[in-house]
Amino acid sequence: MTRALDMVSRADALQGLGSPTGIVRRSAEWLLSTPWYVPAGLAGLVVILWTALTYRALASSKIGISQPPDGGYVETYMMFEQSKTNPIYYDNPPGKCANIYMWKHVFDRMEEKMIDDKGVEKVVRIHHNDYFFFVFENEIDYGWPQINSFGHVFSNFNFYGLTKRGAILQIVGRVDVPAFEVRFPPLTKQP
């Protein structure tokens, strides 16, 4: 009996939505009678608000991130070795990192080729940058990273801090050293 009443009330509600005074019909009439930019603007405002709220929720969350136990600095470093299978990539040997929750190595590469008078194609210029993304396990206040290439010549690099949670390291030019280590020293206060 209750199931039959439920079905009847649902059918009545659906019929009411489609009636001349129903909310669906009134919404459709409003949508078709207003200029196109009004609903588009409202939809854009909803997207902007949703994005802002999502960003705020993610920025304030502590997923995978914890505070150091004593509130002090936690040693943070990571060592990289050239991959045995492909020397363009770098791997992290087991046990050679501290306070790194997650990391990723990405590179971009563009070649400019030219055909000479004899019809031979040759590479004139190569653009290559390596990017290393780090997410720290514990939040830390860190200064400019130190890179140790163990005596090998290392390219120039740029550093982009991501608050206390991580960093991006951009290495200008191709990294061509067998191993290197990135350390995030504690931030020292200026007197």
pLDDT digits (tens, 9 = 90+) for 77-121: 888 888 888 877 788 888 888 888 888 888 887 878 888 888 888
Which residue type, as a one-letter code, is found at position 87? P
Instruction: Tell me, yes or no, whether 128 and 81 share the same domain.
Output: yes
Instruction: Tell me, yes or no, whether 46 and 137 share the same domain.
Output: no
- Tally the domains of the chain: 2
What percent of the chain is predicted at pLDDT more than 90?
1
Count of CB atoms within 10 A of residue 34's CB? Answer: 11
Query: What is the pTM (predicted TM-score) of this model?
Result: 0.57
The answer to the question of residue 34 being in a domain is yes
The answer to the question of residue 189 being in a domain is no
CA-CA distances (angstroms) from residue 66 to 74, 165, 174, 185?
Answer: 11, 10, 34, 18
